[in-house]
Amino acid sequence: MPDTSDAWPLRSLLLAVVGAAVALAVQQLVAVAPGGPPTGNAHLALATLLAVGGVAFGFVVERTRLHWSLGFAAAAGTVIAAVVYWNGGWGYPDNWRLVCAALTVAIAAPLFQAWRDARAPGAPRFALAYPAVHDHAWTNVLLFLAALLFVLIVWLLMFLLSALFNLIGIDALEKLLRNDQFGAVLVGGAFGGAVGLLRDRSAVLSTLQRVVMTILSVLAPVLAAGLLLFLLALPFTGLAPLWQATKSTTPILLSCIIGALLLINAVIGDRPEEVSRLALLRWAAAVLALAMLPLAAIAAVSTGLRINQYGLTPDRLWALVFIGFAKAYGLAYLLALLRARGGWPVRVRIANLRLAVALCGVALLLSTPLINFGAISTRDQLARLASGRTPADKFDWSALRFDFGASGEAAVKRLVTEGKTPEIRAAAAVAMKEQDRYRMRGLPANRSVAVGIEERLIILPKTAALPKVLRSDLSWNVNCTKTVRCLLYVEPDEASATLVGRTGGVGEIFVVTYYVGKDGWSYTKPAEPITESERKANEARLVAAFTARQLEIRTVERRQVFIGGEAVGYPFE
């Protein structure tokens, strides 16, 4: 491991102060007043800039070329902050773009550190030594995890001291721990101080790195044996069971490839003298290197089948990107084995460095709005819908409405009036009204069409009519079908309606009561209007009765659904 920390005792104090200040600033930017509006997008982007820039500065700062470290930290924070701003916040619609930005910074950091440390007079301008890059990459990962662990220990210690002082009636520390500003300062200061302390003790991280690499290398034969048996079994089982067993075939295969990459590099190290001396481990690493390309090819077939069946989505396009890099690594490792045989680790290290630079560049490109997977997927899905290849009742309206970004939402809005068929227009109207992605996602094939709901219900009494405003809510219930219809009992005053039906389980009955209020139908009975003075008077009466110990237990009459004389569901008023 390169020695980057000795002879700078003020580093810990500097990073602790910087961490506390940055954390406090971030807390103030994202704090939301009770009942106030949510944090603005610009504030979230600025908070991200400070947080990422502060962490990056702590990881790369050196007393020499300090302005270089400041420049890298500012660039790292700007990249991720820009993605947060483009993405409309820290959540949806496209978290993978944020992942790419984070991956860009994570890869760029060790590349920058190795390049900066090698900048000696007369050295090539873009010289990168693989051992330095490899060491910095592992050091950064271990440093981050160790700093998080230190923060957790600090909090546990503070809670312990708080409980100790509470024993003698002093709650000042407990109140401090409940204060958001104090918590931010404590977290930021502890994290920054931990980074500084550990960087001042590079020998500790070097030892920890060797321990981790040793443990990982021992696991190589286990994964190698599993992947080898899996590949050998495929000619006998065929690929069909892969698609029938789970929809997560591609993520599972990509996870195996990532695991193989980690274990291979744990075995071969970053220098010729660090290659494991155990023949079993070297053979296991070779088997893992051979297995990566076939696994990537199977993942490509799996994703291709999903795209052919259901069309493009942002997630599937991202999967294609990850599969592309998995195939690149698999091909590079296979060529290294075929060309060099015994000396293949040397070629793998060269490939690792080149692929890391390429991955960093592609991830940076994909984190920008220059390539919009949502728009690409929207065009493909609309073409499938217009051609009839995907019927309106099986179309994934949830994905188009919520997961394809602004282009998908605009497409749904446009289909409300411009849909090719009445079914498309009706389904788009229902999807456009819905504000909850999770409720839409709960349906098989997301059948959001409200037409034909009466065919799935038996309305009681027969003279009652289905309330129009309740049609949309009832249309989402997938347990009500044409073959297994639900019962809907509408109260005479049409102020409430009870839905009774069968679930997927044998003999299982569900009961849902809907109430009508000023905002439409809901599961909650609307509360009676009450003034503030009436509320305070009620509270005063309860307090007085409680003080006078006026407690009694009564038997109350409740209403409940009975089927064949047996009660089902919960009582309701």
pLDDT at 478: 64
- Distance (Å, rounded) from C-alpha 413 to C-alpha 431? 9
On the question of pLDDT at 185 being above 90, the answer is yes
What tens digit of pLDDT does each residue of 10-60 get?
888 889 999 999 999 998 888 765 555 556 678 888 988 999 999 999 988
Whether residue 127 contacts residue 376, with contact meaning beta carbons closer than 8 Å, is answered with no
| pLDDT band, very low/low/confident/very high, at 343 (cuts 50, 70, 90) | confident
| pLDDT band, very low/low/confident/very high, at 489 (cuts 50, 70, 90) | confident
- Distance (Å, rounded) from C-alpha 206 to C-alpha 147? 15
- Distance (Å, rounded) from C-alpha 449 to C-alpha 55? 48
Local structure of residue 371 (DSSP, 8 states)? S
On the question of pLDDT at 446 being above 60, the answer is no
What tens digit of pLDDT does each residue of 292-334 get?
999 999 999 888 888 888 888 888 899 999 999 999 999 999 9
Written as six digits, the tokens of 203 are 């020998």
Q: Which residues contact 526 (CB under 8 A, 6 or more apart)?
A: 515, 516, 517, 518
Q: Look at residues 12, 60, 8, 4 and name the one whose alpha carbon lies nearest to residue 197.
A: 12
pLDDT at 126: 61
| pLDDT band, very low/low/confident/very high, at 356 (cuts 50, 70, 90) | very high
- Distance (Å, rounded) from C-alpha 419 to C-alpha 426? 9
pLDDT at 452: 59
pLDDT at 39: 63
Beta bridge partners of 497: 490, 514
Which of these ranges, 252-266, 316-330, 418-432, 502-516, has the smallest mean pLDDT?
A: 502-516
SS3 62: coil
pLDDT at 404: 84
| pLDDT band, very low/low/confident/very high, at 108 (cuts 50, 70, 90) | very high
Report the Cα–Cα distance between both ends of the chain, in Å, rounded.
70
Query: Which H or E element spans position 388?
Result: none
pLDDT at 442: 45
Q: Omega into 241 within 30° of 0, i.e. cis?
A: no
What is the sign of the dihedral through the CA atoms of 264, 267, 273 and 279? negative
